[in-house]
Amino acid sequence: MKIALLGHGTIGLGVDHILKRTGGPEVTKILSLIVDDEMAGRTASSIDDIVSDPEIGLVAEVMGGVHPAYEFISKALSAGKHVVTANKAVAAAYFAELTALAEANGVSFRYTSAAGGSIPWLMNLARAKRVNPVLALSGIVNGTCNYILTRMEEDGVPFGEALSDAQRLGFAERDPAADIDGADTLRKLVLSLNVAYDTALREETLPCAGIRNITPEDLAFGRALGLKVRMLMKGGRNEDGSVYGFAEPVFLPADSPEGCVRENMNLVSYVGTESGLQRFSGYGAGRYPTAYNLVEDILDAVSGTAVPYTGHIAPVAVRNDLLMRRYYVRTSALPEVPAHIIESTDGTAAVTRPVSPADMHRLAKLLLEKDPLLFFAGMEEGEEKC
């Protein structure tokens, strides 16, 4: 089977190199906005040039973004070609549509590297749920945020400088909004929940918040309590059969496994009914770590290895009002925070009594209208140490 690449940037070039080094399937056509010397003799003029080629049985999409990635993937699947992608934005936005299209055309749609980079996270979730129902999942899945927080904590640099360094090192995009505002983490949560619970959640059904407004004063608050901030995804099954899920910064013990994760590393975990806690750690981004996992998807598709990411997709209710947790809130609009939920305050920031993530995110939206510099984070306690 011959394959085509959509995109030949950071990840696409990595995929191309790994396939050449390992003697994998031959990349015969490449469609990319940026044309480089390594594409010589393989440049495709359009997506139609690829989908009409009977020798190409698989398309690897590493363009990024939602459009035209969605249209190109749809054309490939409709033409009976397997598709693998590292693009969490398009996979999360059109999960149901692309999964259904692959099934209708008897091909596979795989996205292992879209959540966790080099970590075989979604693969293990898919295996686990067969006999080990997933009760909860969580983790650090955004290396950009983790790098920024590490620099701020360990080197005392301001947010802007840490972000600039992340961009210079290739951890953050030129437009870092998806990372620092939580959307990237949210999309990986959507994919994780969809795989774990055979559903097709949309991004807009789950709340998220990011680290854009974090300050040294916020970190100092945590440090005084032996806590660090990490950008986390949190999700799981409620007792009533509904699911919960949200992405937000979290204060957690500095010596907890998540608190010990530094720089651009990721750490994800799930709790299964049979296995208990399972953890996975590795590079969550980067040319070769991500490309490696995408190539694994390519080889599985070529060999016909079944990966039951989703079975029969069924709707599921989302309820973020059943879980209760304390929150740290720092805002100039503190008088707008209902007094009955405040556990303690120094006049600038407050720690709430246990409230639901649904209520906290709802309140945060109202507070942001009066204070665009608001920062809030969940608070977790734990005994496990790294």
Domains contained in the chain, CATH given: 2-110 (3.40.50.720), 128-284+316-379 (3.30.360.10)
What is the helix (H) or strand (E) element at residue 74, kind and residue range? Answer: helix 69-78
pLDDT at 306: 74
Percent of the chain with pLDDT over 70: 98
Average pLDDT of the chain, as a whole number: 95
Beta-sheet strand order (sheet of 27-31) = 27-31, 2-6, 56-61, 82-85, 109-110
pLDDT of 154 reads 97
- The band of 174, judged by pLDDT with boundaries at 50, 70 and 90, is confident
pLDDT exceeds cutoff 80 at 310: no
Sorting pLDDT into bands at 50, 70 and 90, what band is 173? confident
| Cα→Cα distances 101→23, 94, 105, 112, Å | 30, 11, 6, 18
Angle at CA of residue 196, ends 149 and 385, nearest 5°: 40
Q: What is the mean pLDDT of residues 133-143?
A: 97
What is the reported pLDDT for 284?
86
For residue range 139-163, what is the model confidence (pLDDT) as tens digits?
999 999 999 999 999 999 999 999 9
Q: What is the pLDDT of residue 312?
A: 82
Cα(164)–Cα(278) distance, integer angstroms: 34
Confidence of residue 49 (pLDDT cuts 50, 70, 90): very high
pLDDT band, very low/low/confident/very high, at 34 (cuts 50, 70, 90): confident
- Tell whether the model's pLDDT for residue 82 goes beyond 60: yes
Q: What is the pTM of this model?
A: 0.96
Q: How far apart are CA 319 and CA 61, in angstroms?
A: 33
Q: How far apart are CA 347 and CA 98, in angstroms?
A: 50
- CA–CA dist 113, 296 (Å, integer): 9
What is the total residue count of the chain? 386
Q: What one-character DSSP code corresponds to residue 134? A: E
Q: What is the pLDDT of residue 285?
A: 82
The answer, yes or no, to whether the previous bond of 68 is cis (omega within 30 of 0) is yes
Q: How far is CA 74 from CA 105, 112, 198, 354, in A?
A: 11, 18, 21, 45
DSSP 213-270: T--HHHHHHHHHTTEEEEEEEEEEE-TTS-EEEEEEEEEEETTSTTTT--TTEEEEEE
Predicted local distance difference test score (pLDDT) of residue 63? 95
**Residue 312 CB neighbours (<10 A):** 5
Spell out a b/e string for 165-177, using b for 16 or more CB atoms within 10 Å of the CB, else e: bbeeeebbeeebe
Q: What is the pLDDT of residues 330-381, one digit of tens each?
A: 999 999 999 999 999 999 999 999 999 999 999 999 999 999 999 999 999 7
The string of pLDDT tens digits covering residues 286-295 is 899 999 999 9
Inter-residue contact 269 to 234 (CB < 8 Å): no
pLDDT-based confidence at residue 307 (cuts at 50, 70, 90): low
Cite the active site residues: 188
